Structure 1
Amino acid sequence: MADQTIQHVEVDGGVVVGVDGSPSSLRALAIAADEARIRDAVLHVVRAWSIRTAPRPPDCPPNAIPSVDQFHDEVLKDTQRIVAQRIGEDPGITIRYHVAHAPSPHALLSASKGADVIVVGHRGRGGFAGLMLGSVAEQCVRHAACPVLVVRPNV
């Protein structure tokens, strides 16, 4: 298996959405899919991961350490499952997956250089529940090279 890990996400136009499986990112995914439909654009689903946050490959023996490529494959499968559950198997738009072995802000900010817009949830999996804006959303708002849509929860 060739090394398939990436640290920088490069896109050429379209709608970029950060997905980590959190409720906030699932709402951002649905809104980003709608935005891609409206714009007739590609939906770029970005998932950043580390060894600590990646789902463990189910076929890896309990005492073994999966390779980076095995983790990458499992993160990609998990992301594809999340997208299919949230927006359906055939959402009527082109979807490209970008699974980056990098911190979330790094992956999204690198994607922002070629994106038309980035959509992120207001809060992801980390941090403190009382914060108004998560650190990834804040980094995107402050440093992205394109417009950023921060999705608030349904209330």
Structure 2
Amino acid sequence: MQRVEIEGGVAVGVDSSASSLRALLVAAEEAKRRDAVLHVVRAWSIRTAPRPEDCPPGAVPSTDQYHETVLADTKRIVRTKLGEDPGIPIEVHVVHSPSPQALLSASRGADLLVVGHRGRGGFAGLMLGSVAEQCVRHAACPVLVVRPSI
């Protein structure tokens, strides 16, 4: 399991779900208000990572290939949502780790952790997703849970 080590700033969990994309926008605004670095954290597993395009059918991509694909996809998401020049410094952290562990490790150095209310997994009827709940219960910094827009 990899860790996310940061010093200060606003950390946000991104997994490409609609909830996490809204959290990304809110976290960027919060980083601007604080004049802080925005740390975009994306945890991945073989099950959740996009498949590398250059890997032939039937072949198994390497962990490095998956990592590079997730990194490129995350940078694309950030650029698409925040634009080419968002006006704040942004660092992207892509880790092969369960989401709660990656976000909790980021919370140890962050001033604020921002998460969506529900990610890609779980049950739609839950008030709070399991990752968000673990962050609220165990994070080492304040946590902002972003609800969907109405």
Q: TM-score range by the shorter chain?
A: over 0.9
Give the residue type in structure 1 aligned to 2:80.
Answer: Q
Give the residue type in structure 2 aligned to 1:60.
Answer: C
Give the residue type in structure 1 aligned to 2:92.
Answer: Y
Alignment of 1:136-155 (within 5 A): 136-155=131-150
The whole-number CA distance in structure 2 between the counterparts of 1:22 and 1:46 is 13
Deviation at 1:89, TM superposition (A): 1.3
**Equivalence for 1:77:** 72
**Equivalence for 1:33:** 28
Query: What is the percentage of aligned positions where both structures have the same residue?
Result: 76
Structure 2 gaps of 5+ residues are none
The whole-number CA distance in structure 2 between the counterparts of 1:57 and 1:129 is 29
The whole-number CA distance in structure 1 between the counterparts of 2:120 and 2:104 is 18
The whole-number CA distance in structure 1 between the counterparts of 2:52 and 2:18 is 23
Deviation at 1:21, TM superposition (A): 0.5
The whole-number CA distance in structure 2 between the counterparts of 1:88 and 1:28 is 16
Give the residue type in structure 1 aligned to 2:16.
Answer: G
| TM-score calculated relative to the size of structure 2 | 0.99
The whole-number CA distance in structure 2 between the counterparts of 1:96 and 1:33 is 12
The whole-number CA distance in structure 2 between the counterparts of 1:39 and 1:101 is 29
Alignment of 1:80-91 (within 5 A): 80-91=75-86
Give the residue type in structure 2 aligned to 1:102.
Answer: S
Alignment of 1:35-74 (within 5 A): 35-74=30-69
- Runs of 4 or more, structure 1, over 4 Å off, are none
Quote the RMSD (CA, aligned, Å).
0.7
**Equivalence for 1:16:** 11
